[in-house]
Amino acid sequence: MKIYQNSSEPIYKQIAAQLREQILTGKLKAGDPLPSIRGLAQDLKISVITTMKAYEELAAEGLVTSSKGKGYYVNAQDERMLKEQHMRQLEKNLSDAIYSARIAGIGLEEAEQTLEMLWSMDEG
């Protein structure tokens, strides 16, 4: 796991985003334990409170569950929930892209062309 101290994104958000991606892509599966809060905090040289905040965010999204005295575990993900999580991420990324396009003076038509080009490149 990588964190960037000079990022504008808070460290707990960086941690949550990386763990979320691992869960949504299936790298972390239902029942898998997350690293211990203290252990992860030590590894990343950050506060336990920061790690706890990241885990609580994932719990609030329903991706993980806390087990008293045992830590956090990945929840089973149903297809609807996975699609919803991916849709939320897509909406966030598109909102960021729209913001960047507007700053750069790029119109909707040019943005759509760029999206279509990237979409077709990714299809192989």
pTM: 0.68
Using DSSP's 3-state secondary structure scheme, residue 77 falls into coil
Tokens of 52: 């706890």
Q: 82 has which bridge partners?
A: none
pLDDT means per 10 residues in the chain (124 residues)?
A: 88 94 88 94 94 95 90 86 81 94 95 92 69
